[in-house]
């Protein structure tokens, strides 16, 4: 067996497979939630499945001044983020990353952008809007979980 074949065989480990599958699934979950929030944004936020009074108030969050950034709805930014993440975490992208390591770092950097946006949006929800959106929280949790998976995947890539 050639040295290249041994290297290729070694690079598809159970851990790498788990990171690839979990990151793609998380990306699809985030894409679904962000897609729903985008739909709600453009239909007047009338079917959000959470209360519209009290601390948990999706309508208050999704219609606040923080629901757009630079004139772009945050829901659309989330949708764009997850379209790119789904592409970067797709099985072909993971295969490409084994041959071209820069994909790993692009994926990690893009997920960091998402986490930084999550920090900003959670700050806005807690300290400016005084309300929390459960759908937004789902996107936030998925974004942070995805970042965690990709950090461990990048660490594994460095060890190989």
12 confidence band (pLDDT: 50, 70, 90): low
- The stretch 74-101 carries a mean pLDDT of 90
CATH code of 26-159, in short, is 1.20.1440.130
- The stretch 4-21 carries a mean pLDDT of 65
Indicate the helix (H) or strand (E) that contains 73.
strand 72-73
Supply the mean pLDDT for the chain: 86
| Nearest Cα residue to 80 out of 149, 34, 26 | 34
Domain limits, the chain:
26-159
Beta-carbon contacts of residue 150 (< 8 Å; ≥ 6 apart): 19, 23, 89, 107, 108, 111
Question: How does pLDDT run across 121-146, given as a tens digit for each residue?
Answer: 999 999 999 999 999 999 999 999 99
Q: Is 131 exposed, middle or buried (0-12, 13-18, 19+ CB in 10 A)?
A: buried
Indicate the DSSP class of residue 47. Answer: S
Distance CA 135, CA 116 (A): 18
pLDDT > 60? residue 153: yes
Enter the pTM of the model: 0.86
36 confidence band (pLDDT: 50, 70, 90): very high
pLDDT > 90? residue 3: no
């Amino acid at each position: 067996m050639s040295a290249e074949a041994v290297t290729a065989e070694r690079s598809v480990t159970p851990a790498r497979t788990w990171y690839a599958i979990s990151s793609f699934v998380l990306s699809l979950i985030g894409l679904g939630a962000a897609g729903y929030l985008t739909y709600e944004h453009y239909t007047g936020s009338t079917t959000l499945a959470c209360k519209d009074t009290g601390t948990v108030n999706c309508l208050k969050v999704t219609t606040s001044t923080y629901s757009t950034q630079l004139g772009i709805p945050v829901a659309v930014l989330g949708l764009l983020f997850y379209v790119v993440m789904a592409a970067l975490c797709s099985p072909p992208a993971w295969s490409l990353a084994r041959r071209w390591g820069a994909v790993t770092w692009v994926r990690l950097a893009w997920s960091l952008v998402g986490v930084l946006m999550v920090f900003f949006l959670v700050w806005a929800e807690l300290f400016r809007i005084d309300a929390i959106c459960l759908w937004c929280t789902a996107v936030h949790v998925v974004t942070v979980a995805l970042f965690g998976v990709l950090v461990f995947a990048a660490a594994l890539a460095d060890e190989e």
